[in-house]
Amino acid sequence: EDSLPVYTKAEVKRHRSLETRVWVTLGHEVFDVTDFVAIHPGGPSKLLLAAGGPLEPFWALYAAHNQPHVRELLAEYKIGELSPDEERSSDQVCTDPYASDPPRHPALQINSQKPFNAEPPLELLGESYITPNPLFFTRNHLPVPTIDPATYHLQVEGPPGGQTLSLSLDDLRRFPKHQVTVTLQCAGNRRSEMAQVKSVKGLNWGAGAISTAQWGGARLRDVLIQAGHSPSGSEAHVCFEGLDSDPTGTAYGASIPLARAMDPEGDVLLAYEMNGQPLPPDHGFPLRVVVPGVVGARQVKWLGKVSISPEESPSHWQRRDYKGFCPSVDWDKVDFDSAPAIQELPVQSVITEPREGQTIEPGEVTVKGYAWSGGGRAIIRVDVSLDGGLTWQEAKLEGEAQAPRRAWAWRLWQLTAPVPTDWKELNIICKAVDDGYNVQPDTVAPIWNLRGVLTNSWHRVHVQVAP
């Protein structure tokens, strides 16, 4: 063992494919697991996600690895040690507004580093009904603000003539604690498919800008009533301001109708917990809004201020973004005031396994995915085709049936079906139906819009069948 070579992290990082060989590290040890990839019990593609770097962030999520026989198996592939005298170069400029952004999970596929925007790989997203916090997609418009929970206060404006409440985290924890499992989806989810029709403005999201968590916190309704607002809805809006701001001091902001906030069955939360943990920095620590059934953009993170107004939030992201338009409207003639801000989202479904371009074994195929609809509409069916839409089979929906009108979380689904022996490839499609019998459009071109939002056409995956 003393004679084993010493490698730097940079050298390990160069070995992240079967062609360049697959190296991983655990602690200070380096392993070449190329020959294990094909026989990994969790599947080759999952192992490859860790290629060229440490196993710890992955194994922390999949406890099956925390057993002696797994360590013994890994030891057989050891090829060296990590260089001990390697220190992280601290060449970061202090004026970088992103310098205090938190560390992130290496499995996340990064669409933009600053601000940080990233999605989990689909084969991990489809693996668990509750998305593990480190894999939850992240959509930041600005640097992550550093907030001291001990001095943090939420400002809640009262009605005209009333007072502003200033609530500490302890004050917020004194409201009845409410827990709801909610799927968040960015309006830009699947934008990369829409961009293939004609270019759009925005981050090139795949189909992973969606995730599910159990959120815990105070009901927004209870806090607004405490601040003196009437529990019966009016035409007003609840405006939210984040504590993240750009160099000019402009904060992220958005609003929702007051009626939704006040609906006792709307389950709108001021959340301080995500899957039983304090919110992670990327997801709004210490407090965020969770608006079930509504687009991600309204679920303001790092919440600083709540107010009621006869108008929607004046924020750019409420008024000049996150709206849908006719496919023939482009930037030369768009009138943002002519379209309502996106709130509830349309019915959606995606295939998470197999992946595009994969080669599958002959015999049978298992297709997995997620399905969700906005506004609390439950998923009642997912149809899957293996032959490009000529014939369809119903997928099995996992988990329990959803409560109508409050179906805030997605359903995972799967279908195992025989593959006829003479088929060389599969054109797999999925499409979901919600309890309003809303369906997904078959193609994306007729729903194209200049901002690339609201992509929910049939999801398609092409795979080869091994001979």
Residues of this chain that interact with ligand HEM (CB under 6 A) are 24, 33, 36, 40-42, 46-47, 49-50, 55, 58, 62, 64-65, 70, 73-74
With CB under 6 A as the contact rule, the residue among 12, 82, 122, 300 that binds ligand MTE is 300
Least gap, CB of 211 to ligand MTE (angstroms): 6
Q: How far is CA 103 from CA 10, 148, 222, 228, 282, in A?
A: 18, 18, 35, 40, 9
Q: What burial letters (b/e) apply to 285-313, b meaning 16+ CB within 10 Å?
A: bbbbbbbbbbbbbbbbbbbbbbbbeeebb
Q: What burial letters (b/e) apply to 367-395, b meaning 16+ CB within 10 Å?
A: bbbbbbbbbbbbbbbbbbbbeeeeeeeeb
Nearer to ligand MTE, 57 or 202 (CB): 202
Contact 352, 125 (CB under 8 A): yes
Least gap, CB of 207 to ligand HEM (angstroms): 18
Least gap, CB of 122 to ligand HEM (angstroms): 12
Kindly identify the residues of this chain, within the stretch 168-197, that bind ligand MTE according to CB under 6 A. 184, 186
Q: Which among 186, 272, 430, 451 is annotated as catalytic?
A: 186
With CB under 6 A as the contact rule, the residue among 126, 132, 242, 257 that binds ligand MTE is 242
Work out what residue 242 binds among ligand HEM, ligand MTE, Mo ion, none; the CB cut-off runs from 5 to 8 Å by kind. ligand MTE
Nearer to ligand MTE, 194 or 429 (CB): 194
DSSP category for residue 51:
T
* Among 378, 354, 392, 385, CA closest to 435: 378
Asked whether position 413 contacts ligand MTE by CB under 6 A, the answer is: no
One-letter amino acid at 276 equals G
Q: Which among 105, 322, 370, 377 is annotated as catalytic?
A: 322
Work out what residue 426 binds among ligand MTE, Mo ion, ligand HEM, none; the CB cut-off runs from 5 to 8 Å by kind. none
Q: Which among 28, 40, 71, 320 is annotated as catalytic?
A: 40
Nearer to ligand MTE, 7 or 240 (CB): 240
Residue 167: alpha-carbon gap to chain centroid: 29
Kindly identify the residues of this chain, within the stretch 117-146, that bind ligand MTE according to CB under 6 A. 136-142
Nearer to Mo ion, 157 or 312 (CB): 312
Stretch touching Mo ion by CB under 5 A, among 149-157, 181-189, 250-258, 349-357: 181-189
Contact 451, 201 (CB under 8 A): yes
- Tell me the CB-side half-sphere exposure of residue 443, using CA atoms within 13 A: 6
Contact 407, 463 (CB under 8 A): no
Asked whether position 316 contacts ligand MTE by CB under 6 A, the answer is: no
With CB under 6 A as the contact rule, the residue among 302, 325, 413, 448 that binds ligand MTE is 302
Asked whether position 244 contacts ligand MTE by CB under 6 A, the answer is: yes
DSSP category for residue 315:
-
**Is residue 186 annotated as a catalytic residue, yes or no?**
yes
Stretch touching Mo ion by CB under 5 A, among 101-109, 134-142, 162-170, 194-202: 134-142
* Among 426, 349, 354, CA closest to 382: 349
What is the SS3 assignment for 252?
strand
How far is residue 25's CA from residue 121's CA, in Å, rounded to a whole number? 21
How far is residue 49's CA from residue 307's CA, in Å, rounded to a whole number? 44
**Is residue 65 annotated as a catalytic residue, yes or no?**
yes
Q: How far is CA 381 from CA 292, 301, 345, 423, 459, in A?
A: 21, 33, 18, 26, 15
Per-residue interface string for the shown chain with Mo ion, residues 286-305, x marking contact by CB under 5 A: ----------xx--------
DSSP category for residue 283:
G
Contact 411, 398 (CB under 8 A): yes
Work out what residue 445 binds among ligand HEM, Mo ion, ligand MTE, none; the CB cut-off runs from 5 to 8 Å by kind. none
**Is residue 370 annotated as a catalytic residue, yes or no?**
no
| Residue numbers at the binding site for ligand MTE (CB under 6 A) | 136-142, 184, 186, 242, 244, 252, 282-283, 296-297, 299-302
| Residue numbers at the binding site for Mo ion (CB under 5 A) | 139, 186, 296-297
Catalytic residue numbers, as ranges: 40, 65, 139, 186, 322
